[in-house]
Amino acid sequence: MTPTATNAGCDSNALPVLRERGQREVFCGLTGIVWLHRKIQDAFFLVVGSRTCAHLIQSAAGVMVFAEPRFATAIMEEKDLAGLVDANEELDRVVDRLLERRPDIKLLFLVGSCPSEVIKLDLSRAAQRLSAKHTPRTRVLNYSGSGIETTFTQGEDACLAALVPEAPSADGDALPGLLIVGALPDVVEDQFARLFAELGIGPVAFFPPRRSGEIPAIGPNTRMLIAQPFLGDTVRALEARGAQRLPALFPFGAEGTTHWLKAAADAWNVPEMDFRRVVAPHRERAKRALARSKETLDGKSIFFFPDSQLEPPLARFLAEELGMRPIEIGTPYLNRDLLSEEMKRLPEGAQLSEGQHVDKQLDRCREARPDLVVCGLGLANPLEAEGLTTKWSIELVFSPVHGFDQAGDLAALFARSFARRSVLRV
Protein backbone atom coordinates (compact mmCIF):
# COMPACT_ATOMS: atom_id res chain seq x y z
CA MET A 1 0.00 0.00 0.00
CA THR A 2 2.88 2.31 0.66
CA PRO A 3 3.91 3.89 -2.58
CA THR A 4 7.34 2.58 -3.41
CA ALA A 5 9.21 3.64 -6.47
CA THR A 6 9.15 0.87 -9.03
CA ASN A 7 11.59 1.08 -11.85
CA ALA A 8 9.57 -1.03 -14.22
CA GLY A 9 8.38 0.62 -17.38
CA CYS A 10 10.14 3.09 -19.52
CA ASP A 11 12.32 5.40 -17.52
CA SER A 12 14.68 5.62 -20.45
CA ASN A 13 12.29 7.37 -22.81
CA ALA A 14 10.16 9.14 -20.23
CA LEU A 15 10.39 12.67 -18.93
CA PRO A 16 12.66 13.32 -15.98
CA VAL A 17 10.77 13.23 -12.72
CA LEU A 18 11.16 15.75 -9.94
CA ARG A 19 10.64 14.00 -6.62
CA GLU A 20 9.80 16.19 -3.68
CA ARG A 21 8.75 15.80 -0.13
CA GLY A 22 7.42 18.30 2.32
CA GLN A 23 3.97 19.58 3.08
CA ARG A 24 1.37 17.85 0.94
CA GLU A 25 -1.80 19.70 0.14
CA VAL A 26 -3.81 16.57 -0.63
CA PHE A 27 -6.58 14.53 0.93
CA CYS A 28 -6.00 11.16 2.55
CA GLY A 29 -7.54 7.93 1.29
CA LEU A 30 -10.60 8.24 3.52
CA THR A 31 -11.96 10.75 1.05
CA GLY A 32 -12.69 7.98 -1.46
CA ILE A 33 -15.60 6.98 0.76
CA VAL A 34 -17.44 10.04 -0.52
CA TRP A 35 -17.98 8.40 -3.91
CA LEU A 36 -17.55 4.71 -3.02
CA HIS A 37 -20.49 4.74 -0.60
CA ARG A 38 -22.75 5.78 -3.45
CA LYS A 39 -21.25 3.31 -5.92
CA ILE A 40 -21.79 0.10 -3.97
CA GLN A 41 -25.35 0.55 -2.90
CA ASP A 42 -25.58 -1.99 -0.11
CA ALA A 43 -22.18 -1.26 1.42
CA PHE A 44 -21.44 0.85 4.46
CA PHE A 45 -18.09 2.41 5.37
CA LEU A 46 -17.20 2.69 9.03
CA VAL A 47 -14.04 4.69 9.62
CA VAL A 48 -12.28 3.71 12.81
CA GLY A 49 -10.52 6.93 13.61
CA SER A 50 -10.55 10.28 15.31
CA ARG A 51 -12.71 13.36 15.27
CA THR A 52 -10.36 14.67 12.59
CA CYS A 53 -11.33 11.79 10.29
CA ALA A 54 -15.05 12.48 10.73
CA HIS A 55 -14.47 16.18 10.17
CA LEU A 56 -12.40 15.52 7.05
CA ILE A 57 -15.02 13.40 5.37
CA GLN A 58 -17.84 15.79 6.07
CA SER A 59 -15.77 18.76 4.93
CA ALA A 60 -14.61 17.04 1.76
CA ALA A 61 -18.15 15.92 1.07
CA GLY A 62 -19.40 19.45 1.59
CA VAL A 63 -21.89 17.98 4.04
CA MET A 64 -24.41 16.50 1.68
CA VAL A 65 -26.83 15.01 4.13
CA PHE A 66 -29.70 14.88 1.72
CA ALA A 67 -30.03 11.20 2.29
CA GLU A 68 -28.61 9.42 5.29
CA PRO A 69 -25.05 8.68 4.27
CA ARG A 70 -23.79 5.14 4.13
CA PHE A 71 -20.70 6.05 6.09
CA ALA A 72 -19.88 6.99 9.64
CA THR A 73 -16.92 7.29 11.96
CA ALA A 74 -16.28 5.36 15.14
CA ILE A 75 -14.44 8.12 16.95
CA MET A 76 -11.79 6.80 19.31
CA GLU A 77 -11.64 8.37 22.71
CA GLU A 78 -9.09 8.48 25.49
CA LYS A 79 -10.21 5.18 26.99
CA ASP A 80 -9.93 3.37 23.65
CA LEU A 81 -6.26 4.24 23.56
CA ALA A 82 -5.63 2.77 26.98
CA GLY A 83 -5.90 -0.85 25.90
CA LEU A 84 -6.52 -2.63 22.63
CA VAL A 85 -8.82 -5.15 24.25
CA ASP A 86 -11.17 -2.37 25.19
CA ALA A 87 -10.88 -0.82 21.76
CA ASN A 88 -11.93 -4.10 20.16
CA GLU A 89 -14.86 -4.47 22.53
CA GLU A 90 -15.92 -0.94 21.80
CA LEU A 91 -15.67 -1.55 18.08
CA ASP A 92 -17.90 -4.62 18.35
CA ARG A 93 -20.45 -2.60 20.27
CA VAL A 94 -20.42 0.19 17.70
CA VAL A 95 -20.83 -2.26 14.82
CA ASP A 96 -23.72 -4.00 16.59
CA ARG A 97 -25.46 -0.67 17.06
CA LEU A 98 -24.86 0.29 13.46
CA LEU A 99 -26.16 -2.96 12.00
CA GLU A 100 -29.18 -2.77 14.23
CA ARG A 101 -29.97 0.67 12.82
CA ARG A 102 -29.20 -0.27 9.24
CA PRO A 103 -30.30 -3.87 8.68
CA ASP A 104 -30.07 -3.26 4.91
CA ILE A 105 -26.25 -3.26 5.00
CA LYS A 106 -24.85 -6.34 3.27
CA LEU A 107 -21.21 -5.35 3.20
CA LEU A 108 -19.46 -3.39 5.91
CA PHE A 109 -15.99 -1.95 5.43
CA LEU A 110 -13.99 -1.17 8.53
CA VAL A 111 -11.74 1.60 7.30
CA GLY A 112 -8.43 2.13 9.06
CA SER A 113 -7.14 5.65 9.72
CA CYS A 114 -3.89 7.25 10.83
CA PRO A 115 -4.62 6.83 14.55
CA SER A 116 -5.91 3.26 14.21
CA GLU A 117 -2.76 2.35 12.25
CA VAL A 118 -0.46 4.02 14.73
CA ILE A 119 -1.96 2.24 17.74
CA LYS A 120 -1.91 -0.95 15.64
CA LEU A 121 -5.55 -1.75 16.03
CA ASP A 122 -5.82 -4.91 13.91
CA LEU A 123 -8.86 -4.26 11.77
CA SER A 124 -8.40 -7.37 9.64
CA ARG A 125 -8.84 -9.53 12.73
CA ALA A 126 -11.73 -7.38 13.83
CA ALA A 127 -13.31 -7.81 10.40
CA GLN A 128 -12.96 -11.61 10.61
CA ARG A 129 -14.43 -11.66 14.08
CA LEU A 130 -17.34 -9.43 13.15
CA SER A 131 -17.94 -11.23 9.86
CA ALA A 132 -18.29 -14.51 11.72
CA LYS A 133 -20.68 -12.89 14.13
CA HIS A 134 -22.92 -11.20 11.57
CA THR A 135 -22.83 -13.80 8.82
CA PRO A 136 -24.81 -14.46 6.68
CA ARG A 137 -26.55 -11.12 6.86
CA THR A 138 -23.49 -8.89 6.67
CA ARG A 139 -20.00 -9.49 5.42
CA VAL A 140 -17.30 -7.39 7.09
CA LEU A 141 -14.08 -6.40 5.29
CA ASN A 142 -11.36 -3.92 6.05
CA TYR A 143 -8.87 -1.62 4.36
CA SER A 144 -6.80 1.37 5.29
CA GLY A 145 -7.59 4.86 4.08
CA SER A 146 -5.06 6.42 6.41
CA GLY A 147 -3.09 9.47 5.38
CA ILE A 148 0.16 7.91 6.46
CA GLU A 149 -0.36 5.22 3.82
CA THR A 150 -2.74 6.51 1.18
CA THR A 151 -3.28 9.67 -0.80
CA PHE A 152 -6.82 10.58 -1.87
CA THR A 153 -7.69 8.13 -4.69
CA GLN A 154 -5.48 5.41 -3.24
CA GLY A 155 -8.34 4.91 -0.81
CA GLU A 156 -10.38 3.48 -3.67
CA ASP A 157 -7.44 1.28 -4.60
CA ALA A 158 -7.20 -0.07 -1.07
CA CYS A 159 -10.96 -0.64 -0.90
CA LEU A 160 -11.13 -2.49 -4.21
CA ALA A 161 -8.05 -4.54 -3.36
CA ALA A 162 -9.85 -5.65 -0.20
CA LEU A 163 -12.82 -6.66 -2.31
CA VAL A 164 -10.81 -8.88 -4.69
CA PRO A 165 -10.69 -11.95 -2.41
CA GLU A 166 -14.51 -11.84 -2.31
CA ALA A 167 -14.71 -12.56 -6.03
CA PRO A 168 -15.63 -16.14 -6.93
CA SER A 169 -13.07 -18.05 -8.98
CA ALA A 170 -13.64 -18.60 -12.66
CA ASP A 171 -11.91 -21.79 -13.73
CA GLY A 172 -9.53 -22.11 -16.64
CA ASP A 173 -12.20 -23.45 -18.99
CA ALA A 174 -14.43 -20.43 -18.51
CA LEU A 175 -15.04 -18.24 -21.53
CA PRO A 176 -12.80 -15.18 -21.65
CA GLY A 177 -14.49 -12.28 -19.91
CA LEU A 178 -13.70 -8.58 -19.80
CA LEU A 179 -13.42 -6.87 -16.44
CA ILE A 180 -13.54 -3.07 -16.23
CA VAL A 181 -11.65 -2.08 -13.09
CA GLY A 182 -12.35 1.16 -11.23
CA ALA A 183 -15.46 2.91 -9.92
CA LEU A 184 -17.24 4.68 -12.76
CA PRO A 185 -20.48 6.65 -12.76
CA ASP A 186 -23.41 4.41 -13.65
CA VAL A 187 -24.11 6.33 -16.86
CA VAL A 188 -20.55 5.77 -18.08
CA GLU A 189 -20.70 2.06 -17.30
CA ASP A 190 -23.87 1.79 -19.33
CA GLN A 191 -22.28 3.57 -22.30
CA PHE A 192 -19.25 1.29 -22.23
CA ALA A 193 -21.46 -1.79 -21.88
CA ARG A 194 -23.33 -0.79 -25.05
CA LEU A 195 -20.07 -0.19 -26.94
CA PHE A 196 -18.63 -3.56 -25.95
CA ALA A 197 -21.87 -5.24 -26.99
CA GLU A 198 -21.66 -3.54 -30.39
CA LEU A 199 -18.08 -4.72 -30.73
CA GLY A 200 -19.08 -8.24 -29.81
CA ILE A 201 -16.84 -8.24 -26.74
CA GLY A 202 -18.16 -10.02 -23.70
CA PRO A 203 -19.20 -10.98 -21.21
CA VAL A 204 -18.31 -7.66 -19.58
CA ALA A 205 -18.34 -7.07 -15.85
CA PHE A 206 -17.55 -4.01 -13.77
CA PHE A 207 -15.49 -3.90 -10.60
CA PRO A 208 -16.64 -2.69 -8.14
CA PRO A 209 -20.19 -3.90 -8.82
CA ARG A 210 -23.21 -1.79 -7.92
CA ARG A 211 -24.31 -4.39 -5.38
CA SER A 212 -22.02 -6.36 -3.14
CA GLY A 213 -23.62 -9.66 -4.15
CA GLU A 214 -22.71 -9.15 -7.81
CA ILE A 215 -18.94 -9.44 -7.61
CA PRO A 216 -17.83 -11.03 -10.90
CA ALA A 217 -15.85 -14.27 -11.05
CA ILE A 218 -12.12 -13.87 -11.69
CA GLY A 219 -9.80 -16.38 -13.31
CA PRO A 220 -7.03 -16.92 -15.85
CA ASN A 221 -9.38 -16.07 -18.69
CA THR A 222 -10.26 -12.70 -17.23
CA ARG A 223 -8.94 -9.76 -19.24
CA MET A 224 -8.82 -6.40 -17.52
CA LEU A 225 -9.19 -2.88 -18.80
CA ILE A 226 -8.20 -0.40 -16.12
CA ALA A 227 -10.40 2.67 -15.96
CA GLN A 228 -8.47 4.62 -13.33
CA PRO A 229 -4.70 5.11 -13.08
CA PHE A 230 -4.56 4.84 -9.30
CA LEU A 231 -5.47 1.17 -8.93
CA GLY A 232 -2.03 -0.41 -8.60
CA ASP A 233 -2.76 -2.67 -5.61
CA THR A 234 -6.12 -3.74 -6.99
CA VAL A 235 -4.58 -4.70 -10.31
CA ARG A 236 -1.82 -6.66 -8.57
CA ALA A 237 -4.42 -8.51 -6.49
CA LEU A 238 -6.46 -9.32 -9.59
CA GLU A 239 -3.34 -10.45 -11.44
CA ALA A 240 -2.59 -12.76 -8.55
CA ARG A 241 -5.97 -14.34 -9.26
CA GLY A 242 -4.90 -14.96 -12.85
CA ALA A 243 -6.49 -11.96 -14.53
CA GLN A 244 -4.48 -10.32 -17.29
CA ARG A 245 -4.26 -6.60 -17.84
CA LEU A 246 -4.67 -5.15 -21.32
CA PRO A 247 -2.22 -2.24 -21.42
CA ALA A 248 -3.80 0.89 -22.84
CA LEU A 249 -4.17 4.61 -22.50
CA PHE A 250 -6.85 5.64 -20.05
CA PRO A 251 -10.23 6.38 -21.59
CA PHE A 252 -10.05 10.18 -21.49
CA GLY A 253 -10.85 12.02 -24.71
CA ALA A 254 -11.45 10.59 -28.16
CA GLU A 255 -7.91 9.22 -28.51
CA GLY A 256 -7.63 7.73 -25.04
CA THR A 257 -11.03 6.07 -25.30
CA THR A 258 -10.30 4.67 -28.76
CA HIS A 259 -6.98 3.26 -27.59
CA TRP A 260 -8.59 1.73 -24.51
CA LEU A 261 -11.36 0.06 -26.48
CA LYS A 262 -8.88 -1.12 -29.10
CA ALA A 263 -6.90 -2.99 -26.47
CA ALA A 264 -10.00 -5.07 -25.72
CA ALA A 265 -10.93 -5.37 -29.39
CA ASP A 266 -7.50 -6.81 -30.16
CA ALA A 267 -7.75 -9.27 -27.31
CA TRP A 268 -11.09 -10.42 -28.70
CA ASN A 269 -9.73 -10.46 -32.27
CA VAL A 270 -12.27 -7.96 -33.50
CA PRO A 271 -11.39 -7.23 -37.15
CA GLU A 272 -9.97 -3.75 -37.71
CA MET A 273 -12.79 -2.84 -40.10
CA ASP A 274 -15.46 -3.81 -37.61
CA PHE A 275 -13.73 -1.90 -34.87
CA ARG A 276 -13.61 1.24 -36.99
CA ARG A 277 -17.20 0.89 -38.10
CA VAL A 278 -18.46 0.66 -34.53
CA VAL A 279 -16.18 3.23 -32.96
CA ALA A 280 -16.06 5.89 -35.70
CA PRO A 281 -19.45 7.53 -35.06
CA HIS A 282 -18.78 7.76 -31.31
CA ARG A 283 -15.29 9.04 -31.90
CA GLU A 284 -16.52 11.67 -34.33
CA ARG A 285 -19.15 12.79 -31.90
CA ALA A 286 -16.46 13.14 -29.21
CA LYS A 287 -14.26 15.16 -31.54
CA ARG A 288 -17.12 17.48 -32.42
CA ALA A 289 -17.81 18.00 -28.73
CA LEU A 290 -14.15 18.86 -28.13
CA ALA A 291 -13.98 21.46 -30.87
CA ARG A 292 -15.70 24.19 -28.92
CA SER A 293 -13.43 23.94 -25.87
CA LYS A 294 -10.42 23.71 -28.12
CA GLU A 295 -11.04 27.27 -29.29
CA THR A 296 -10.57 28.37 -25.69
CA LEU A 297 -7.85 25.99 -24.58
CA ASP A 298 -5.56 25.79 -27.62
CA GLY A 299 -2.09 27.09 -26.84
CA LYS A 300 -2.84 27.76 -23.18
CA SER A 301 -0.36 26.61 -20.55
CA ILE A 302 -1.45 24.47 -17.63
CA PHE A 303 0.11 23.58 -14.29
CA PHE A 304 -1.08 20.57 -12.27
CA PHE A 305 -0.73 20.39 -8.51
CA PRO A 306 -0.80 16.74 -7.35
CA ASP A 307 -4.19 15.39 -6.36
CA SER A 308 -5.70 12.23 -7.79
CA GLN A 309 -3.04 10.50 -9.99
CA LEU A 310 -5.28 11.36 -12.93
CA GLU A 311 -2.86 14.17 -13.82
CA PRO A 312 -0.63 12.37 -16.37
CA PRO A 313 -3.48 10.97 -18.51
CA LEU A 314 -5.34 14.28 -18.30
CA ALA A 315 -2.22 16.17 -19.36
CA ARG A 316 -1.82 13.81 -22.31
CA PHE A 317 -5.46 14.40 -23.30
CA LEU A 318 -5.23 18.18 -22.94
CA ALA A 319 -1.97 18.36 -24.88
CA GLU A 320 -2.84 15.97 -27.71
CA GLU A 321 -6.47 16.80 -28.28
CA LEU A 322 -6.86 20.38 -27.10
CA GLY A 323 -3.47 21.89 -27.81
CA MET A 324 -2.71 22.82 -24.21
CA ARG A 325 0.85 23.16 -23.00
CA PRO A 326 1.53 21.38 -19.70
CA ILE A 327 4.23 23.14 -17.70
CA GLU A 328 4.25 20.91 -14.64
CA ILE A 329 2.36 17.67 -14.18
CA GLY A 330 2.29 17.00 -10.47
CA THR A 331 1.01 13.68 -9.20
CA PRO A 332 1.04 12.30 -5.67
CA TYR A 333 2.43 9.03 -6.95
CA LEU A 334 3.60 7.96 -10.37
CA ASN A 335 2.41 4.44 -11.06
CA ARG A 336 4.76 3.52 -13.86
CA ASP A 337 3.19 0.15 -14.65
CA LEU A 338 -0.31 1.42 -15.18
CA LEU A 339 0.93 4.58 -16.88
CA SER A 340 3.33 2.84 -19.24
CA GLU A 341 1.34 3.81 -22.35
CA GLU A 342 0.63 7.31 -21.07
CA MET A 343 4.26 8.09 -20.28
CA LYS A 344 5.23 7.55 -23.90
CA ARG A 345 2.85 10.25 -25.03
CA LEU A 346 3.43 13.01 -22.52
CA PRO A 347 4.53 16.20 -24.26
CA GLU A 348 8.20 17.11 -24.16
CA GLY A 349 9.14 20.08 -22.06
CA ALA A 350 6.67 19.30 -19.31
CA GLN A 351 8.01 18.78 -15.82
CA LEU A 352 6.67 15.63 -14.19
CA SER A 353 6.73 15.84 -10.43
CA GLU A 354 5.93 13.21 -7.85
CA GLY A 355 5.15 13.91 -4.20
CA GLN A 356 4.96 17.49 -3.02
CA HIS A 357 6.54 20.35 -1.19
CA VAL A 358 3.66 22.73 -1.55
CA ASP A 359 5.49 25.96 -0.83
CA LYS A 360 8.24 25.23 -3.35
CA GLN A 361 5.68 24.15 -5.89
CA LEU A 362 3.73 27.37 -5.35
CA ASP A 363 6.95 29.28 -5.97
CA ARG A 364 7.40 27.45 -9.29
CA CYS A 365 3.79 28.03 -10.21
CA ARG A 366 3.95 31.77 -9.51
CA GLU A 367 7.18 31.97 -11.47
CA ALA A 368 5.68 30.15 -14.47
CA ARG A 369 2.42 32.17 -14.46
CA PRO A 370 0.47 29.39 -16.22
CA ASP A 371 -2.79 30.25 -17.95
CA LEU A 372 -4.56 27.60 -15.87
CA VAL A 373 -3.71 25.97 -12.53
CA VAL A 374 -5.31 22.66 -11.56
CA CYS A 375 -5.29 22.41 -7.78
CA GLY A 376 -7.17 21.40 -4.66
CA LEU A 377 -9.76 23.41 -2.78
CA GLY A 378 -7.27 24.70 -0.21
CA LEU A 379 -5.23 26.47 -2.91
CA ALA A 380 -7.81 27.54 -5.49
CA ASN A 381 -9.19 30.75 -3.96
CA PRO A 382 -5.79 32.00 -2.76
CA LEU A 383 -4.36 31.52 -6.26
CA GLU A 384 -7.38 33.18 -7.87
CA ALA A 385 -6.84 36.09 -5.49
CA GLU A 386 -3.28 36.30 -6.82
CA GLY A 387 -4.68 36.64 -10.34
CA LEU A 388 -4.21 33.07 -11.55
CA THR A 389 -7.02 31.10 -13.18
CA THR A 390 -7.74 27.79 -11.47
CA LYS A 391 -9.67 24.60 -11.91
CA TRP A 392 -10.64 22.55 -8.82
CA SER A 393 -9.10 19.16 -9.25
CA ILE A 394 -11.64 17.37 -7.07
CA GLU A 395 -14.30 17.93 -9.73
CA LEU A 396 -12.30 15.75 -12.10
CA VAL A 397 -12.84 12.86 -9.72
CA PHE A 398 -16.47 13.66 -8.90
CA SER A 399 -17.80 14.12 -12.44
CA PRO A 400 -18.41 11.65 -15.28
CA VAL A 401 -15.31 12.25 -17.43
CA HIS A 402 -14.49 8.87 -19.02
CA GLY A 403 -15.39 7.76 -22.51
CA PHE A 404 -16.45 9.34 -25.79
CA ASP A 405 -19.62 10.98 -24.62
CA GLN A 406 -17.94 12.67 -21.66
CA ALA A 407 -14.90 13.92 -23.60
CA GLY A 408 -16.60 17.23 -24.33
CA ASP A 409 -17.67 17.59 -20.70
CA LEU A 410 -14.15 16.88 -19.52
CA ALA A 411 -12.71 19.56 -21.80
CA ALA A 412 -15.47 21.94 -20.75
CA LEU A 413 -14.45 21.58 -17.10
CA PHE A 414 -11.12 23.15 -18.03
CA ALA A 415 -12.62 25.70 -20.41
CA ARG A 416 -15.19 26.88 -17.91
CA SER A 417 -12.65 28.72 -15.76
CA PHE A 418 -11.69 30.82 -18.79
CA ALA A 419 -15.29 31.31 -19.84
CA ARG A 420 -16.13 32.70 -16.42
CA ARG A 421 -13.20 35.07 -16.45
CA SER A 422 -14.23 36.36 -19.86
CA VAL A 423 -17.85 37.08 -18.93
CA LEU A 424 -17.20 38.75 -15.57
CA ARG A 425 -16.90 42.52 -15.49
CA VAL A 426 -16.27 42.86 -11.75
- Site for another protein, rule CB under 8 A: 2, 21-31, 48, 50-52, 54-56, 58-60, 62-63, 65-66, 68-69, 72-78, 80-81, 87, 90-91, 93-94, 97-98, 114-115, 117-119, 146-149, 151, 359, 376-382, 384-385
Burial of 131 (0-12, 13-18, 19+ CB in 10 A): middle
Residue whose CB is less far from another protein, 28 or 162: 28
Closest to 8 in 3D by CA, of 303, 259, 311, 245 = 245
Closest to 293 in 3D by CA, of 328, 317, 259 = 317
Residue whose CB is less far from another protein, 349 or 378: 378
**Closest distance of CB 78 from another protein, Å:** 5
Contact predicate 396/413, CB 8 Å: yes
Residue whose CB is less far from another protein, 146 or 335: 146
How many Å is the maximal CA-CA distance in the chain?
68
What single letter denotes the amino acid at residue 148?
Answer: I
* CA 344 from centre of chain: 21
Residue whose CB is less far from another protein, 112 or 219: 112
**Closest distance of CB 130 from another protein, Å:** 14
**Closest distance of CB 255 from another protein, Å:** 33
**Closest distance of CB 395 from another protein, Å:** 13
Residue whose CB is less far from another protein, 25 or 157: 25
* Integer Cα distance of 300 and 35 in angstroms: 31
Residue whose CB is less far from another protein, 150 or 293: 150
**C-alpha angle 406-210-2 in degrees, rounded to nearest 5:** 80
**Closest distance of CB 50 from another protein, Å:** 4
* Integer Cα distance of 131 and 22 in angstroms: 40
Phi and psi angles of residue 100, each rounded to the nearest 5 degrees, phi first: -65, -40
**Closest distance of CB 389 from another protein, Å:** 15
Residue whose CB is less far from another protein, 50 or 257: 50
**Closest distance of CB 170 from another protein, Å:** 35
| DSSP one-letter code for 166 | G
* Integer Cα distance of 52 and 115 in angstroms: 10
| DSSP one-letter code for 16 | P
**Closest distance of CB 124 from another protein, Å:** 16
* Integer Cα distance of 244 and 241 in angstroms: 9
